[in-house]
Structure 1
Amino acid sequence: MTKTNVKGVAAFFANDGPLAKALDDYQVREQQLDLSKAIEETINDKAVLVAEAGTGTGKTFAYLAPALQSNKKVIISTGTKNLQEQLYQRDLPQVKQMLNQEKQTALLKGRSNYLCLHRTKINEVSERGLDKDVLNEFKTVMKWANGTKTGDMSDLNLLKEDAKVLPLVTSTIDNCLGKDCSYFEDCFLVKARQKAMMADIVVVNHHLFFADLALKEQGFGELIPNVETVIFDEAHLIPDIASEYFGENLSTRQLNDLLKDLSKLQKVQLKDANQLSECAQKCLYAVADFRALFGQDPERGNWTQVLKRPDIKKQITLLSDELNKLNQVAQLNIGRDKDIDTLIEKLNTFDERLNLFLRDDHKDVSLWYETSKYHAILHLTPLSIAAQFNKVTQSRDTSWVFTSATLAIDGDFSHYQGLMGLETATTKCFDSPFNYQQQAMLCVPRYLPEPNHKDMKKALINICISLIEAAKGRSFMLFTSHHMMRLVAEAVSEEIENAVFVQGERSKSMLLKDYLADSKSVLFATGAFWEGVDVKGDDLLCVLIDKLPFASPDDPLLQARLDDCRKQGGAPFFDIQIPQAVIALKQGAGRLIRDFNDKGVLVICDNRLVTKAYGSKFLASLPPMKKTRDLKIVEDFLSSID
């Protein structure tokens, strides 16, 4: 039974309300209150709202208050697992306590985040085949597994985020045995799902939401319970994530895992069926030979074009043939072991998907591939999810809220609405409460070379050095390419005494920790630090962006969307590339001012902002900072900050 002494969000955010009593020096933020009222109204009316909430609006509390006060089952979906855990462990309990609520809440992650008892047992039996490092990791997992109640791998602090053992002790949609698994009753994922089914508020992330939605559309989804309200935070990330799950993909890593599992199980469960392992081994060789046909370095490209290569066509056909032979041998052993039967069924699904990528009659999709050091993934991605997602929002008796600090282009939501099929949604823009005129300065330096000119590197080096000296470190240098980032970082580090941290040297969390621990340090980074990073106060006084973040025209999925836009009579550069770049620039710029007392400078080293007509679109979408083109004024401003 829910207890609450507060009715409505207006009372919650009032000067004498629960929030004011819990926070020192609380002042009502009109933007936060108005956003919360709009969300409250959307929930009550079972409507659709697209809301941009500028940095500092306080959108998390703005949606948690109406969500908790409604008598409806709510899903809150965040952009990343880190934000998901922060919301569940910090923000949600705070608001729940302020409202004196007893509503049940649940945190639900994707299956690969939970210990899989079945896969752990398989690999325990054959652990002799593991190398020393992986074996030590496996033993660490086994020791932890004896005491864990949730099976949540993030609780195992002794394990690295990218530990090689993880695929051996967790499952994917392709190798999970589901209800046919011998450990189904004890499955940690099943228990987490059951808790979510009973909860009033369920916190997920976008990847999990759309993975389950895609399964639901096929009649199989059951991860996320049916709800009456869905709230998407960091909603600008959804179009790309949703596209992935409304399409198809085939990963050689997952195929390898299935084949290896089959071999291990055969040696334990069906010792007289050696032909199964022999066929599985031939499939593994075929997979390895397929990956070897691509370059050693990671790459992305157009699958339709690559499939025209005789060696690729021959090898992918050979792999399909080997999978068929494996299936023929498997048919002789059907019914002898439940787990092996399930694995064979999964492998048949892989073969069906493989044939999908051999066809040439696809429409309105992009067929592309990407490779890592050891593996390859084939993707079939729809060029637009608008029609599919519109059908989802219209066919359910559900309230939908989409919010982020970056959804509009100069106050216009039409680009985002078009991507998502939300043309009839209510749209609202809530400006940041920060005083950008007093707190921040924007500079596009004079006399810059063109972005791709050979002299640009030297210009960036000189500008970085002068900014770092003026700010006494405390700077983020954000780049659109890893190559330029490394070149400039290396040159700058030789000229300054400040500690220089560079993305790629260690994990994102460790880099940020090291940066914050050294008050005179500087961080060089690319896309990973353009969003989801919250550094307040004097720890960050300067953000440099090397150039406008246009997506690489070589990206195969972008190429396909640009071609489709042309066929539809559109202007790809203005309809797709500029809106994408504006949103990305807003995200990068948003790292600078994170609190009411913050001060700082945003320096964008791209003269197209002032020389090209489209530059006004970018400038109009940025916060209303003081503007200058004189680096000396910037240096003086930075030097004046205590």
Structure 2
Amino acid sequence: MTIEQLFSQTGPLALALKGYQPRQAQIDMAQVCDSALKHSQQAIVEAETGTGKTFAYLLPALVNKGKYIISTGSKALQEQLYHRDLPTVYKALGSAKKKALLKGRANYVCHYRLNQHVAHVPSDDADIMHQLAMVAKFAAQTRSGDIADCVGIEDDAKVLPYVTSTADNCLGRECPDFDSCFIRKARQRAADADIVVINHHLFFADMAVKDSGFAELLPGADGYIFDEAHQLADIASDYFGETISTKKILAFITDARMLYRSELRDMLQLGKTLDKLESATKDMRLAFGSDGGRGDWRKALTDKALCDAIHRVNKDLAFLNQVLKLCLERSELVEPMLERLITLKGQLDRAFDVSVRGYSYWYEATRYHLTIHITPLNIAAKFKEMLSEREAGFVFTSATLSVNDSLQHFSDALGLSPSRTLMLASPFDYQHQALLCLPRYLPEANSDAMPRALVGICQQVIRAAKGRCFLLFTSYRVMHMVAEVLCQQMDYPVFVQGQMSKRLLLERFTRHGNAVLMGTASFWEGVDVRGSALSCVVIDKLPFVAPDDPLLQARMQDCEQSGGEPFAQIQLPRAVIALKQGVGRLIRDSQDRGVLVLCDNRVITRDYGQVFLKSLPNMRRSRDMNEVNAFLAAID
């Protein structure tokens, strides 16, 4: 059966799906995907919301022979694809292909670590003790071991580091629970399957790191499909680079202390050395001040006090190495612990060698942790080499890949050589379904008066929309300033990012039907609220990366040295893609209607504003808030 027949009015989709109508854009995309997968070529497809891109790449993967890896941008999209979309297509086609869902190791309960911590409770924190009991009960009943299925354990649960493994602390084939290991079983199911649904982080982890005790899984595929492909370049940069963090060191200390308490109790020097290292690690974080933030690591190393704090950690790691060597004959668990320690010390040593060119050396200090990043400025060559090693077809798709009607920025960033490119507009009638408002008389985007102006606009649209608003911000600071006023003055429920997990926030927002949700970067994409629960999206300003961001500065400097235009080639494309993602939250269905309010007058006053407007859906535009009120009042 041809692609046209599969998607026709008499095809399997039409017979299986109530109200199905063939869409030419969907058929065009499916043909491009089919050709790329069959002939081991590269294809790039921008398919805006409503095109039906998921089915357009799923059907070719299911009707063609061979094994296909489908990679999504997040775990939430991964689960939606596996539990909702794939079963629909399988049923329509009557497919017999084996399918599997595979997540990263941090998503599966580790029997060994769970048993160790149940036997030696790691904390007197009541929450952790209660959660340990919940996970232990779940582990005894589950077949998959996927902790997302454990009711009551959220993504940010305190217990997770104690009941899951990392590539550093996994014992691999040496683990006493290897035969019952949930990760091993999940990877085996994936190895046997014809369709495997993963996420981008797992794809790069599998490529960049060969887990000891686990066979390499993904290179055996005949084709790879990357959905939400606009995220690939940034995720690849993380995996092709290197990070060392106080969180990683403290996690090592926790595991070493568990070994000390369970098998090496009489080794008092080990306990004291671990205490000393823990104190030095926390002092290293405090040396960067209480406010945190990002900075240039090269500059940080010119501060003697900071260098001294880091050297103390390095010195304590070296001494701990000597102490652990004395315990080698005492337990078979000491050797893998020693290997982790050597790796940590090597990473910290490399963080001192900032002479390697082509990398950005930067740090990020959060409330509790310090992370040092060594990030490659250009991953195109490495990614191109990675793809060339595999005789397979590659499809890259997303609703937001183009800038100024061109896919060149995306293609260049990953070093792609596509045989076919395709840009498909949304079938939604944006002229009638949506209104874009750029309010008049706003202060400058970075002005101190802007938060007060935002409060006034938000109050106005919330009342007009009867709640039902997303308020998207580019900074936590401004979000909290606006939230402080709205939470006190609005009659509608106001949910603010950070109050609870993202999943719970979205569930409660949708369930209320007239609520307000305030969020930053993570809510700009991957959020799908259809129908009457969302009628208005307010965006505080154009999402340019902060100019003092050390990674951005390094990339711009590298671009300039290569004779490029840093603003046009680095800053502007990233901001355009991010804005398109935020705007995409508004209209998710052919029945949706809503208003987008963009509170940044640079769209009008700066030449580059036209690049943003040209990249957005063709909505009716206004500068009059009265039109916004009238449009919202007319929505049923």
Aligned to 1:422: 416
Separation in structure 2 between the aligned mates of residue 641 and residue 628 of structure 1, nearest angstrom = 17
Is residue 542–residue 600 contact of structure 2 (8 Å, CA) maintained in 1? yes
Flag the 1:376–1:128 CA change in 2: closer, same or farther, 3 A: closer
1:536-560 residue CA offsets vs partner (Å, 9 max, x unmatched)? 2222221111111111112211111
Aligned to 1:485: 479
Flag the 1:441–1:385 CA change in 2: closer, same or farther, 3 A: same
SS in 1 for 2:368: coil
Aligned pairs for 1:609-624 within 5 A: 609-624=603-618
The TM-score with structure 1 as length reference comes to 0.95
Aligned to 1:92: 86
State the Cα distance separating 1:360 from its structure 2 match.
2.8
Separation in structure 2 between the aligned mates of residue 260 and residue 504 of structure 1, nearest angstrom = 26
Output the amino acid matched with 2:256: L
* Aligned equivalent of 1:36, options 20, 23, 30: 30
Is residue 172–residue 212 contact of structure 2 (8 Å, CA) maintained in 1? no
Aligned to 1:303: 297
Aligned to 2:493: 499
Is residue 444–residue 606 contact of structure 1 (8 Å, CA) maintained in 2? yes
1:498-532 residue CA offsets vs partner (Å, 9 max, x unmatched)? 22222222222222222222233222222222111
1:416-453 residue CA offsets vs partner (Å, 9 max, x unmatched)? 11111114553210111111112112121222222123
SS in 1 for 2:244: strand
Separation in structure 1 between the aligned mates of residue 408 and residue 212 of structure 2, nearest angstrom = 30
Greater shift in the superposed pair: 581-590 or 548-557: 548-557
Separation in structure 2 between the aligned mates of residue 418 and residue 122 of structure 1, nearest angstrom = 48
Flag the 1:283–1:457 CA change in 2: closer, same or farther, 3 A: closer
Q: How many residues align?
A: 636
Flag the 1:180–1:568 CA change in 2: closer, same or farther, 3 A: same
Q: Indicate yes or no: 2:369 matched with 1:412.
A: no
Q: Indicate yes or no: 2:131 matched with 1:137.
A: yes
Output the amino acid matched with 2:262: V
SS in 2 for 1:146: helix
Flag the 1:332–1:459 CA change in 2: closer, same or farther, 3 A: closer
Aligned pairs for 1:456-467 within 5 A: 456-467=450-461
* Aligned equivalent of 2:286, options 292, 302, 305: 292
Greater shift in the superposed pair: 400-409 or 369-378: 369-378
Is residue 117–residue 187 contact of structure 1 (8 Å, CA) maintained in 2? yes
State the Cα distance separating 1:641 from its structure 2 match.
2.0
Greater shift in the superposed pair: 513-522 or 490-499: 490-499
Greater shift in the superposed pair: 530-539 or 463-472: 463-472
Flag the 1:180–1:10 CA change in 2: closer, same or farther, 3 A: same
Separation in structure 2 between the aligned mates of residue 458 and residue 134 of structure 1, nearest angstrom = 41
The TM-score with structure 2 as length reference comes to 0.96
Aligned to 2:269: 275
Output the amino acid matched with 1:641: I
Q: Indicate yes or no: 2:141 matched with 1:147.
A: yes
State the Cα distance separating 1:68 from its structure 2 match.
0.8
Aligned to 1:526: 520
Q: Indicate yes or no: 2:300 matched with 1:345.
A: no
SS in 1 for 2:447: coil
Output the amino acid matched with 2:595: V
Greater shift in the superposed pair: 20-29 or 503-512: 503-512
Separation in structure 1 between the aligned mates of residue 228 and residue 371 of structure 2, nearest angstrom = 27
Unpaired runs of 5+ residues, structure 1, are 1-6
Flag the 1:333–1:496 CA change in 2: closer, same or farther, 3 A: closer
Is residue 593–residue 599 contact of structure 1 (8 Å, CA) maintained in 2? yes
Separation in structure 2 between the aligned mates of residue 490 and residue 290 of structure 1, nearest angstrom = 33
Aligned to 2:577: 583
Separation in structure 2 between the aligned mates of residue 309 and residue 219 of structure 1, nearest angstrom = 42
Output the amino acid matched with 1:154: A
SS in 2 for 1:465: helix
Output the amino acid matched with 2:40: K
Q: Indicate yes or no: 2:385 matched with 1:391.
A: yes
Aligned pairs for 1:243-392 within 5 A: 243-392=237-386
Unpaired runs of 5+ residues, structure 2, are none
Separation in structure 2 between the aligned mates of residue 503 and residue 287 of structure 1, nearest angstrom = 29
Flag the 1:101–1:483 CA change in 2: closer, same or farther, 3 A: same
SS in 2 for 1:127: coil
Output the amino acid matched with 1:303: W
Greater shift in the superposed pair: 485-494 or 224-233: 485-494
Flag the 1:468–1:256 CA change in 2: closer, same or farther, 3 A: closer
1:312-345 residue CA offsets vs partner (Å, 9 max, x unmatched)? 2122222222222222233333344221111111
Separation in structure 2 between the aligned mates of residue 598 and residue 291 of structure 1, nearest angstrom = 48
Is residue 213–residue 221 contact of structure 1 (8 Å, CA) maintained in 2? no
Flag the 1:194–1:221 CA change in 2: closer, same or farther, 3 A: closer
State the Cα distance separating 1:166 from its structure 2 match.
0.9
Separation in structure 2 between the aligned mates of residue 47 and residue 495 of structure 1, nearest angstrom = 56
Flag the 1:510–1:304 CA change in 2: closer, same or farther, 3 A: same
Separation in structure 2 between the aligned mates of residue 159 and residue 390 of structure 1, nearest angstrom = 39
State the Cα distance separating 1:495 from its structure 2 match.
4.2
Flag the 1:267–1:627 CA change in 2: closer, same or farther, 3 A: closer
1:115-147 residue CA offsets vs partner (Å, 9 max, x unmatched)? 112222322332174322211211222222222
* Aligned equivalent of 2:167, options 153, 173, 187: 173
State the Cα distance separating 1:284 from its structure 2 match.
2.1
Aligned pairs for 1:513-552 within 5 A: 513-552=507-546
Is residue 29–residue 53 contact of structure 2 (8 Å, CA) maintained in 1? yes
Separation in structure 1 between the aligned mates of residue 188 and residue 222 of structure 2, nearest angstrom = 18
Aligned to 1:597: 591
Output the amino acid matched with 2:90: K
State the Cα distance separating 1:625 from its structure 2 match.
1.1
Greater shift in the superposed pair: 490-499 or 508-517: 490-499
Q: Indicate yes or no: 2:199 matched with 1:205.
A: yes
